[in-house]
Structure 1
């Protein structure tokens, strides 16, 4: 940077009059005489003018330069210049929130990372000073397949224009309420600090080996891409904010702002991208108040909308984000029932936050169509056809995979709309839970474990329960708090105990993906785990239920249950560069690590552990927020 002196120096040649050049002494005397002959008032004015000029010069000489808006470090600095959105529209600085940062503070860039596209690149020592010379720094790179193709980008603009969407994703400020950023103070006890340490350990591995990619492979020190949307970063945004991890949040925020592009020629799943990416962006927006997240969410929402352009209004499961062409899954003509009915919280919130009612209208239409379909005591088959709008004949009925969150979102949508009166959604929820109690609930003959089975072909009972089903105790308790009958509370308590036993009955203290239960006296144990079902994917569902039980009752017993499980994760899934799913919870000497750390480990599991261990059980106020199925808090709407 160019430097300038902060004073004016005059070089005078000194010496005897004999050493001066001819005429210089005379000139100097003439100047002095001329000065003395000036009127006193004029001399004073000249002196004042010179002093003023000196002071002005000192005041306006630059010291340390602020980073201009268009040249800010992409990973570390907060611009003091007015914040600009991606169309270069100036937004008010107060709308951009950086948690607990003084606006004049300069954040150092994060530790230089391994370059992603070439695993043979030299690795930078994590202990290296981030302020070392620029040539020693290797910045995180966006995955190659996330760089938009110019031709596809042009085509996407045309599609957006043809649908009246050109000019978005920016939002007119007058259309949005000013979200007040929520303040979090960080961990308050040793258990919370242990969870934060687990997060940081996971994050270090992800930054070093998978930055910008969807998931970390912590053992092989690589990455895995599902959609190429940086799932781990976006999924974990609100976790970092809630944990008060300010530096991690800032670098993630900057990656989202500068590198997350949805204009990619790739098919993505409507459900997974909605709950993880759209939900993550909206939650980060509501918690931080930073409208950049909302602008990104609107862009993504527009690209997902073609899924709803079907003969029946039931959405297709997949869409290409660049060409905006939607279709059924390649493996089946049908969509999963849970997938088309577990997008409503996010799209409704997007509609209310952006002022675009179309986002809510399409998902409400799905609600109405599913509501009108015939069901079995309120229970739904796990497949539905987007062309016909009908459930698949003789499909399985399950509260596990492909069916689970349909029931969750019946209740949570009602809560999101501030318990809208005469809402068919809550009536469908009551009917469905009656169907669960009468059709799916059983007890084992010896140990009396209450569990929820499945109906194969819609009628034949199977004593199989996915770990995914362990979300239900928390949902039932939440519903009971808002007026659901006592039978829901009883089932919640009994099912929570059963889910806990699926952990405690295993040598590792970790639950399998699927558990079978004894129907008759033909087995030695009431809880049965088959070899192909013995894997653990670091799933959050039971910790989620423990969180609701603690948050809604204040009973610290649930914290102790969670601590036992957290310690098992620490013992059997922690590896040098993160945490890994394992293939066998039945053998402590052969857990068969699977080398995968899914984004929900940071987005859900560790978040729920952190909230469960909080001294303040209202750290997330459940009267003000509803958590989506990926644990992203969205505000309860009051209009």
Structure 2
């Protein structure tokens, strides 16, 4: 009994002793492992983390980032360029080659060069050091990449960082395009322009205060608004859309803070959502390319390449006609289910040419122009029902969807980009010109109508029957017809200018026939109704620019004072009915004064509405139509051959990009 009582106790203690020894041994092993790991980190880590010890870099060009930081201290107001890493020299040290410029000083303004030399001579850390920039990582993704050295491409595996270029940021001078200033001699016009600038500041400060970094602002509830067209994440759409407007208006403090956001936060590698290919192109790619052209700042060019590459998976279809939506994280693309059996939309896949063509020219990568040239060739060869382009095309079968044609929603900017591609190419894109003249001839003969009282409008064609409705979006056609009249000399040029003025007048009527002085989303023509909305879903106004856009072109081309007067009436209506404490809001019913507001300040209010208002009250030299063409988001793109700010890549690379396009690409 006593033995039985002792044995379990003894066994229990022995088991506890063995367990303790095991614990102690495990802890000893952990400590030894930790000590060993620390030793390895201390001994080997510097090889990976210190540039002086990595890869045997030659002492003459070591520590790239320290040198660059020192250069920033010399003159922080300077953008100091340096060429990318392309090869190695014979002695094994990295050789840095630009291909266009061999001397950094040659690319600086005279005053900047003198200040830089003086500072370098007085700074011991900078003497005898060559300035080199962190190189871009080039990757081969183009189908024709073997023919050219791709420029301006970002490494998508790392977070984007700013890159600098050898071209200085321009300022207005007598020998270059006027991109700032441009004050009109008319004192009334100057006062009106100042008012528009104040509106821009009010809208911008509201966005900055309540929605910074968000896509758009809800100015009444004072919070951010993320629309479905931008995906589900914050992408700063309003910042990108506002950049060139801020710069043109000379609002440099606001422009500088916007640029800083682009440099620090615009990174599509961080996105995990679906995005509209069309909206991303016209707002982000177009906005970045525009401000690159205006300033020469390569940060914008490289971000534009970065964004455009995220859209390329959408083009992976049997026909090359892109899908409407792409997930920028995994490249999965698709179309809207409601779009005529999953078809692509004419106004979306037809509104890529300006941006993608120019992007190839400034980056040297032919893949972008290849994509849009293929689209152009493909649809040009298709048979058009009744000579019209339907709004839907199946990207898998290459067949048209529903026979619905419109110069408003779903079709509008396809026609706009035909004439503008002709203009932007400097008159060399003859295919775009021919497609435009053929299409607009059919549109004019079949869709252009006159109301009972004589108002000219563009109806919609649905299965060979006309619907006598015109969208606010279709009011851009006043400017399109006017541009065609001025840039394509033909027997119908004068007729088209007459049509342009009549369409501008009809769209004005849609405004003055409301209680707010702002036009509805759509307006109809019937026996008892002209230029008025019928359905409640057609009566809203969301700060749209298309009516004003038409007046802008008509003002530039005709100089009739009424277009400025109409624009000023619009300013007063915006102030009275859309301005709120936090910015500007759309309204839900243009026929009701003091009605409900939609609480959204659209990003295109910065890019288009306020820009067109500012320019219509400016001298014609500011963003001259002889030097610039606006994309459909009103971002100015320089005209090749007419604009010193075209900023193409090296001529040999641009020539190679044109060559690989083949066929119709030669016309571009």
TM-score, scaled relative to structure 1: 0.73
Which residue in the other structure is 1:168 paired with? 153
Which consecutive residues of structure 1, in runs of 5 or more, have no partner in the other structure? Answer: 1-66, 105-155
CA shift in 2, pair 1:558/1:473, >3 Å: same
Could you give the per-residue CA deviations for residues 569-618 of structure 1, whole angstroms, max 9, x where no partner exists?
Answer: 1110000010001100001132x10000110000100000000111x123
Establish whether residue 511 from structure 1 lines up as the match of residue 516 from structure 2: no
Establish whether residue 608 from structure 1 lines up as the match of residue 612 from structure 2: yes
Contact 1:512 1:529 in 2 (8 A): no
Matched residue of 1:169: which SS? coil
Establish whether residue 448 from structure 1 lines up as the match of residue 457 from structure 2: no
Structure 1 position 285, deviation (Å): 0.3
Could you give the per-residue CA deviations for residues 91-141 of structure 1, whole angstroms, max 9, x where no partner exists?
Answer: 9699799xx9x999xxxxxxxxxxxxxxxxxxxxxxxxxxxxxxxxxxxxx
Structure 1 position 86, deviation (Å): 11
Establish whether residue 185 from structure 1 lines up as the match of residue 194 from structure 2: no
Contact 1:342 1:406 in 2 (8 A): yes
Which residue in the other structure is 2:373 paired with? 364
Contact 1:181 1:289 in 2 (8 A): no
Establish whether residue 636 from structure 1 lines up as the match of residue 636 from structure 2: no
Contact 1:474 1:544 in 2 (8 A): yes
Structure 1 position 539, deviation (Å): 0.4
CA shift in 2, pair 1:544/1:176, >3 Å: farther
Q: Quick one: which of 401, 409, 418 aligns to 2:409?
A: 401
Contact 2:523 2:534 in 1 (8 A): yes
Matches within 5 A, 1:236-385: 236-263=242-269, 264-332=271-339, 333-385=342-394
In structure 1, how many angstroms separate the alpha carbons of the residues matched to 2:633 and 2:106?
29
Establish whether residue 492 from structure 1 lines up as the match of residue 500 from structure 2: yes
Which residue in the other structure is 1:222 paired with? 223
Higher RCO (CA 8 Å, separation ≥ 6 residues): 2
Structure 1 position 83, deviation (Å): 6.2
Structure 1 position 166, deviation (Å): 11
Contact 2:151 2:365 in 1 (8 A): no
CA shift in 2, pair 1:210/1:429, >3 Å: same
Q: Quick one: which of 528, 531, 548 aligns to 2:553?
A: 548
CA shift in 2, pair 1:395/1:72, >3 Å: farther
Matched residue of 2:404: which SS? coil
Establish whether residue 469 from structure 1 lines up as the match of residue 477 from structure 2: no
Structure 1 position 175, deviation (Å): 11
In structure 1, how many angstroms separate the alpha carbons of the residues matched to 2:138 and 2:166?
25
In structure 1, how many angstroms separate the alpha carbons of the residues matched to 2:246 and 2:316?
36
Contact 1:543 1:608 in 2 (8 A): yes
Matches within 5 A, 1:194-209: 194-209=195-210
In structure 1, how many angstroms separate the alpha carbons of the residues matched to 2:71 and 2:212?
22
TM-score, scaled relative to structure 2: 0.70
Structure 1 position 364, deviation (Å): 0.5
CA shift in 2, pair 1:468/1:363, >3 Å: same
In structure 1, how many angstroms separate the alpha carbons of the residues matched to 2:397 and 2:261?
41
Contact 2:608 2:633 in 1 (8 A): yes
490-499 vs 172-181, which moves further: 172-181
CA shift in 2, pair 1:209/1:103, >3 Å: farther
CA shift in 2, pair 1:622/1:96, >3 Å: farther
Structure 1 position 426, deviation (Å): 1.4
Matches within 5 A, 1:48-127: 69=69, 78=76, 82=80
Structure 1 position 161, deviation (Å): 11
Structure 1 position 525, deviation (Å): 5.4
Q: Quick one: which of 412, 415, 418 aligns to 2:423?
A: 415
Which residue in the other structure is 1:620 paired with? 623
In structure 2, how many angstroms separate the alpha carbons of the residues matched to 1:70 and 1:268?
40
Could you give the per-residue CA deviations for residues 59-80 of structure 1, whole angstroms, max 9, x where no partner exists?
Answer: xxxxxxxx9949999xxx9555
In structure 2, how many angstroms separate the alpha carbons of the residues matched to 1:379 and 1:316?
22
CA shift in 2, pair 1:93/1:269, >3 Å: farther
In structure 2, how many angstroms separate the alpha carbons of the residues matched to 1:327 and 1:157?
29
